[in-house]
Structure 1
Amino acid sequence: MQDKDLPDIVDLVREMGAFGDGGRNRSPGNSNSGYGQGGEPQAKPAPGLPAQSQAAPDLPGHLEGLAARARTYVEAASSPNTRRAYAADWTHFTSWCRRQGLAPLPADPQVVGLYVTALAAGAADNAPGRAAPRSGGRKPHAVSTIERRLSALAWNYSQRGLTLDRKDRHIATVMAGIRNRHASPPRQKEALLPDDLIAMLETLDRGALRGLRDRAMLLIGFAGALRRSEIVGLDCGRDQTEDGRGWIEVLDGGLLVTLRGKTGWREVEIGRGSSDATCPVMALQTWLSLARIAHGPLFRRVTGHGKKVGSDRLNDQEIARLVKRAALAAGVRGDLPEGRRADLFAGHSLRAGLASSAEVEERHVQKQLGHASAEMTRKYQRRRDRFRINLTKAAGL
């Protein structure tokens, strides 16, 4: 299904003006841009391309099929999660512009500079002319959130054939000041180490399909250092589903996972465990056998009081909920209040756990995580190598 937040590829093709004057012309007021005259955002439909200054002819009928195929490629250029986030950020920006009496189009660095200032001041959701209340109001947005929204605006403008100059002084200087005043160290999710994972596995019901599925997902996610989307995107074999992100092959030495991640296609080797209780390959085979899954998505919803397995793949949010739920049930980081513990764990806790606990050369960990640089891999190694090299003693003290 086409994302309503994205410009239509047919409109993009029409803008090229390469099809003569044989079609019916569209007037600016009738374009599916999501904006009325003057660039004011409309409630419905979602923001699309801005109205064109000159009418463009309709696309000839014999090219409609090609345009439909091009649309699927446009959608495949970014993940659904990224498109949803960018669409939400664009909606927030256009809503703020409407309240302030400003036009979101064309790309104006001064308007964007005012917007990021409002985000940093906690006033982006207030009525015009009113500052954020000292108590009971919205908190200022984190610098990382502001950076993401700025990237989302640049992306949305580019999809509309416009360019947002992020180096313009109205944006660059304001962002430099925001970083200097409000930046804070990143809050990383807690790494789940092997003992933590084993304790989490013990909280799952081995006699229930849901427990067997969750067990396999935790072990596969940890041993493969997989992202949430990569776990739930796996199929039993190659080219079995349209929305699949990879597939598995069970070999003598373990599990070979071929998947499409952020950096492209890569292979991940998941070796067999030292015991059946902690073997990711055994856990996966048990789940597939008892769930009677031989084709299509690996991990699916269990319904009917835990006795029926559906046909659709799980949402990647289920991985985050599973990790959080199992970690709390196992008492991981029991030295902290439950409220704080709930914020420590997420899907990335599995990737960070393998990176922090695997006693191998760093290049092997980097390959498993699919990182292009060792520096990125080190960000996942929460507890590894601390004080292993003591420069104080090396200096003679």
Structure 2
Amino acid sequence: MYFQRSCTDRLIFLLSEQLTEINIASAWVIALNPRTLALRLTALSQWHAHQGFADPTSTPTVRKTLAGVARTHGRPKKKAKALPIEDLELIVARLADISTLKASHDSALLQVGFFGGFRRSELVGIKVEHVLWRREGIEIALPRSKTDQTGEGITKAIPYSDGPCCPAKALRAWLDAAGIAAGPVFRSVTKWGKAAGIALAVGSVNTVLADCATLAQLDYVPDLSSHSLRRGMATSAHRAGADFRDIKKQGGWRHDGTVQGYIEEAGLFEENAAGSLLRSRIKPT
């Protein structure tokens, strides 16, 4: 835990309000983003509640201290940059020029992740048994996701396409090339050019995206993460005229506000008061 230290063989916990304030106001302020600090205080609060102790973080003084930290040391939240569909198409085209098993895997991974709006844990958790091949495309049934903790399952559909991207065709090509008939769909490829027997590690999705974006010579690779696929799906779908409800469903978002934020991001320049003013001043030729 972040709130304990070792003293011989015993653990000494910082339980008092005074000690909590000291921790907030000293080294943590320098080392931690205020949002991270708030999360750790929440963890501390929950631990005390579970143990039946008084909550040292709920006092007005501690809350006032935390608010002061946010005002004084607050920083903008770092967000993963959305990967627009145009750049995904560049990546897919570049991978198509490389006749390797890994290129086939990476193309399928990124396309399914993007168009399915999957979280990275969901993406690497897909098994062959979860995929239903239909005439219109593929259905991927997740037995559990972040927004479905009761295990009722959610299903995402991805149609076939004749365009630059087709996740269903890319997935079929990868499975056939790797000889995968059961078990995890996405797996690492060994240096001998064979698919591993276990699922791809969650953190590897970031690495695959970064490597492929570098290959496509995108100039914002440091701003990309696995979440860029979901954000990119939402913003690109909005620009393509997709309905708000359909975007929310495909991404599996619980809150309208999250999706609305992506839509506002997508229309930052299109739905822009300054842009309207500037266009109004253009003299006809």
TM-score, length-normalised on structure 1?
0.61
Match of 2:105 among 203, 206, 213: 213
CA drift at 1:120: 4.2
The higher-RCO structure (CA 8 Å, 6+ apart) is 2
Higher helix share: 2
1:116 paired residue number: 24
1:5 paired residue number: none
| Cα distance change of structure 1 residues 150 and 208 upon mapping to structure 2, 3 Å threshold | same
Is 2:165 aligned against 1:278? yes
Give SS of 1:302's match. Answer: coil
1:185 paired residue number: 76
2:117 paired residue number: 225
C-alpha RMSD of matched pairs (Å): 2.6
**How far apart, in 2, do the equivalents of 1:153 and 1:346 lie?**
29
**How far apart, in 1, do the equivalents of 2:222 and 2:45 lie?**
30
CA drift at 1:117: 2.0
**How far apart, in 2, do the equivalents of 1:299 and 1:390 lie?**
41
Match of 1:148 among 23, 39, 57: 39
Unpaired stretches in structure 1, ≥5 consecutive residues: 1-89, 123-139, 238-246, 334-340
One-letter amino acid matched to 1:232: V
Is 2:118 aligned against 1:236? no
**How far apart, in 2, do the equivalents of 1:236 and 1:147 lie?**
40
Contact in 2 for aligned 1:229/1:316 (Cα 8 Å): yes
One-letter amino acid matched to 1:343: P
| Cα distance change of structure 1 residues 159 and 285 upon mapping to structure 2, 3 Å threshold | farther
Is 2:216 aligned against 1:330? yes
Match of 2:3 among 93, 96, 113: 93
Contact in 1 for aligned 2:20/2:56 (Cα 8 Å): no
Give SS of 1:297's match. Answer: coil
**How far apart, in 1, do the equivalents of 2:269 and 2:196 lie?**
49
CA drift at 1:159: 4.4
Is 2:49 aligned against 1:170? no
Over the matched positions of the two proteins, sequence identity in percent amounts to: 28
One-letter amino acid matched to 1:355: A
**How far apart, in 2, do the equivalents of 1:382 and 1:272 lie?**
28
Is 2:188 aligned against 1:295? no
Unpaired stretches in structure 2, ≥5 consecutive residues: none
One-letter amino acid matched to 1:190: K
Give SS of 2:12's match. Answer: coil
**How far apart, in 2, do the equivalents of 1:248 and 1:201 lie?**
22
**How far apart, in 1, do the equivalents of 2:247 and 2:155 lie?**
13
Give SS of 1:190's match. Answer: coil
Bigger Rg, which one: 1
One-letter amino acid matched to 1:221: G
**How far apart, in 2, do the equivalents of 1:163 and 1:379 lie?**
38
Match of 2:222 among 343, 367, 374: 343
**How far apart, in 2, do the equivalents of 1:250 and 1:163 lie?**
55
- Give per-residue Cα distances to partners, 1:43-89, cap 9 Å, x unaligned: xxxxxxxxxxxxxxxxxxxxxxxxxxxxxxxxxxxxxxxxxxxxxxx
One-letter amino acid matched to 1:386: L
CA drift at 1:121: 3.2
CA drift at 1:147: 1.7
Contact in 1 for aligned 2:132/2:138 (Cα 8 Å): yes
Moved more, 190-199 or 202-211: 202-211
